[in-house]
Chain A
Amino acid sequence: MLAIGPWQFLSCFGQQFQPEKDVGKDLDLSFLPEETSGNDASNANVTQDSGVFDACRQEESAETDPKKVAMPGASTFCPMTPVIPVAESSGIIPMLQNIVSTVNLACPLDLKSIALQARNAEYNPKRFDAVIMRILEPRTTALIFSSGKMVCTGAKSEELCHLATRKFARVVQKLGFPAKFLDFKIHNMVATCDVCFPIRLEGLLLDHQQFSSYVPELFPGLIYRMVKPRIVFLIFVSGKVVLTGVKERREIYDAFENIYPILKGFRKQ
């Protein structure tokens, strides 16, 4: 979900707005549309999950940021890394590990028959009142409720999450229920990354007391709750960082760019 128009690249460089000037001696931006469509929940045209991110931040977001761009096919994908001074970008890209999404199949389901007929489905109504179904490709798990609503977890990218949810819906459909695919929405994304240096958590706690919570007796990591974008970091002494609590991939990248200079300030010597 990368959408940087040419004018935004220029602004990053602090240059004046000159749309007719050819930026791309290094870059070929011709494949990017002039205007990108707004955020569409059912838009399946998302980038594949190579995770390559052009680390240019949008300093002034006066206009609403276009969220998606139709990228060319995976085989011809080339990384877009514009020339940016190293000091500005961290060069580290958080990798997505888990995405939680929900969808409404819009028909009441008989969980018992689903559990009996489908493979890889477990149903224990005394323990939890939903069918737990798993598929192998993409490796995901779904909780299917009798109201027709479904929760899908375990996918490593938005595209895979969408695909997996559709596969689960297909299974339910094949079992004889008139399943539809309404209101697909991603609710949470979890990403991890490594800043590759040890971090002084006590120092970080002292300086950012109103955002941080570090109780070594309870949990070895520092829990940092950033306000904008609203995201939670788990920061460990080894330098590994977990980001969670967001619904958009862009927020993860923005938030990591926000925290990276802070973490560099608390590097252990």
Chain B
Amino acid sequence: MAIWGIGDVLALPKVQCPNHPDAMLVEDYRAGDMICPECGLVVGDRVIDVGSEWRTFTNEKATQDPSRVGDAQNPLLNGGDLSTMISKGTGAASFDEFGNSKYQNRRTMSSSDRAMLNAFKEITTMADRINLPRNIIDRTNNLFKQVYEQKSLKGRANDAIASACLYIACRQEGVPRTFKEICAVSRISKKEIGRCFKLILKALETSVDLITTGDFMSRFCSNLGLPKQVQMAATYIARKAVELDLVPGRSPISVAAAAIYMASQASAEKKTQKEIGDIAGVADVTIRQSYRLIYPRAADLFPPDFKFDTPVDKLPQL
């Protein structure tokens, strides 16, 4: 018996005992009843048992989980797709005499948003290549959904929009990836990703923070195999260089690469400009240019507690 509770904001029918509305009903699952503990009145009847249909035991061949029927639902992104389809048969009876399967139709499972599902798959593939965590993938999917529903970028390739969404998501999570890194895992050119990036920011009316040199230090340095001391020194050098305005108008990536070069050349682990350029996606002439700008003030840029393997005056002068 459904009774409308006073002050029930959701206005769902709330099962209550008519005589004792405050009493917490006890569920008797064997009989499927809701019983009031005060007076013993059976209030709710034929309560559906939501437990699992069959008992499952963990065994070694636990490839299938019998308590699950179907894929995990993605309610935020799909709009709650409840359609079903007939899968390919497994037994011998599903094939006719020539060996063709009797039931052929496997098409058009979810005709609406098929492109969106494809894009989500592409996003997951791209993110997987650079080992991005689940939260970034989810954020990317959400951004893509918003852009797709808005339809303002409808003419653009879905892959380009997906790549740009991935770039924005990385930025928003505070772990920006360079355009070149996104390019490396996507088939779209940097130019097109850049264009879509600007269009998406305008369409969603958001903005992103400006990148800083420190955002990339840990990734570049660990890819180069540099120890923590060198990484911290490079971070300090890059930050100081920007503060002292030694490198006006230079891309933060180039400044970061030059700082890593200077720090590594001053330590025991010396890396060449080519190696750093490969990792950072920066041309080695660009590193050379930025290095020339920071070289004159090298002594001021190093952190005070840095242990020099090569002293400042012996740093290479390019």
Contact = CB atoms under 8 A, between A and B. Distances in A.
B248 A217 contact: no
B49 interface: no
Contacts of B178: 217
Interface in A185-240: 198, 202, 205, 209, 213-218, 220, 236-238
Given A238-B249, A268-B245, A217 B210 contact: no
A220 B194 contact: no
Of B178, B179, B249, B251, most buried by chain A (CB within 10 Å of CB) is B249
Contacts of B194: 215, 217-218
Contact of B251 (A213, A216, A236): A216
B155 to A, nearest CB: 21
B207 interface: yes
Given A213-B198, A236-B249, A237-B248, A202 B207 contact: no
A209 B179 CA distance: 21
B197 interface: yes
Q: Is the interface of B mostly helix, strand, loop or mixed?
A: loop
A229 B193 CA distance: 30
Contact of A217 (B201, B249, B251): B251
A202 B210 contact: yes
A209 B207 contact: yes
Contacts of B201: 213
A214 B198 contact: no
A213 B248 CA distance: 18
B232 interface: no
A202 B252 CA distance: 12
A215 B176 CA distance: 13
B211 interface: yes
A217 B211 contact: yes
B253 interface: yes
25 contacts: A198-B248, A202-B210, A205-B210, A209-B207, A213-B198, A214-B210, A215-B198, A216-B210, A216-B211, A216-B250, A216-B251, A217-B178, A217-B179, A217-B194, A217-B211, A217-B252, A217-B253, A218-B179, A218-B194, A220-B249, A220-B251, A236-B249, A237-B248, A238-B249, A268-B248
B14 to A, nearest CB: 48
Nearest to A199: B248
Contacts of B179: 217-218
Instruction: Kindly state the interface size class of chain B when it binds its partner.
Output: 10 to 19
A213 B194 CA distance: 12
Contacts of B245: 268
Nearest to A218: B194
A20 B252 CA distance: 61
A218 B211 CA distance: 12
B285 to A, nearest CB: 16
Nearest to B178: A217
B249 A237 contact: yes
Given A213-B198, A217-B253, A218-B194, A238 B248 contact: yes
Nearest to A238: B249
A253 to B, nearest CB: 27
B250 to A, nearest CB: 8
Contacts of A202: 210
B281 to A, nearest CB: 10
Interface string B171-202: 00000001100000000000000100110010
Candidate in A213, A215, A237 with the most chain B CB atoms within 10 angstroms: A215
Given A214-B210, A220-B249, 14 more contacts: A205-B210, A209-B207, A213-B198, A213-B201, A215-B197, A215-B198, A216-B210, A216-B250, A216-B251, A216-B252, A217-B194, A236-B249, A238-B248, A268-B245
Contacts of B207: 209
Nearest to A213: B198
In order of increasing CB-CB distance, the 6 nearest A-B pairs are A237-B249, A237-B248, A218-B194, A216-B251, A220-B249, A209-B207
Nearest to A198: B248
Interface string B206-227: 0100110000000000000000
A223 to B, nearest CB: 9
A148 B210 CA distance: 48
A53 B161 CA distance: 45
Contacts of A217: 178-179, 194, 211, 251-253
Contacts of B211: 216-217
Contacts of A213: 198, 201
Contacts of A216: 210-211, 250-252
A11 to B, nearest CB: 38
Contacts of B252: 216-217
**Highest count of chain B CB atoms <10 Å: which of A209, A217, A220, A237:** A217
Nearest to B190: A218
Contacts of A205: 210
Nearest to B210: A202
Nearest to B255: A216
A205 B209 CA distance: 10
Contacts of A209: 207
Contacts of A220: 249, 251
